[in-house]
Amino acid sequence: MLSEDSMTLFADEIRQPRTPGELITFVESVRQGSNVDDNLRLPGHLRHGYFKEFFDEVMPLSQFAAHIYPTDWTVCPILGNQGYDAEVRDAQGKLVDQVEIAIPIDGRAVAGRQLAQHGITDFLVGDSGDDLEAVIPTILNSASKKAIKDYSDATVVFNVSACPAFEGFEEQHQEQLARIRDACPRPAFSQSECLSSCHRVQ
């Protein structure tokens, strides 16, 4: 188990401003370490300490940033209850975006905790799109709660664990994303877009 000092150092590492590419590299190094290092594996699965923020916020933030922001911009994760989860600055250091990571449901995180605690986890079987369809009401409920605050000057990223569309189910997947996009409350979300596997869907 990581010591309190080690966890503090880990937090300092997370807070470092990085380009999108550097953030991806950092996230991958920690993720791989949590799979092979005995001192990291259990805290990682159980989301102990700053591993909760790392897996719930920084990991999806890195994937989103790598697909959306220019390569010379910097992304700085913010830990704690500070209103937003990250600040984004352009190459000149000007603040250009603030990011909030919303997690309506994360089945992989639940499965990871079950596996770490009990050695077994649930196994779900269904058709392509069933997993996303099941969480759409939860996504929209989370969006409604977020709509209490005006995010028109920021970006809200809803991180959802769902499989990509299987071959032959792409149209259904696009329809599901369109329903999520169109149902996002306004004016809290002045512009709503959905991203499939972190790719922008117009």
pLDDT per residue rounded down to tens, the chain (202 residues): 444 555 556 788 999 999 999 999 999 988 887 766 666 655 556 666 778 888 889 999 999 999 999 999 999 999 887 778 999 999 999 999 999 888 775 455 555 556 556 656 666 667 788 888 888 888 888 777 777 777 777 888 887 777 777 888 889 888 888 888 777 766 555 544 545 444 443 3
pLDDT computed for residue 198 by the predictor = 46
- pTM of the model as a whole: 0.74
What pLDDT, in 10s, does the model give residues 129-168? 888 888 888 888 877 777 777 777 788 888 777 777 788 8
Handedness of CA 163, 168, 169, 174 (dihedral sign): positive
- DSSP assignment of the chain, as one string? ---HHHHHHHHHHHTS-B-HHHHHHHHHHHHHHHHH-HHHHHHHHHT-TTHHHIIIIIHHHHHHHHHHS-TT-EEEE--SSSS-SEEEE-TT--EEEEEEEEEEE-HHHHHHHHHHHHS--------TTHHHHHHHHHHHHHHHHHTTS--TTSEEEEEE--PPPPTT-HHHHHHHHHHHHHHS-TTTSSS--EEETTEEE-
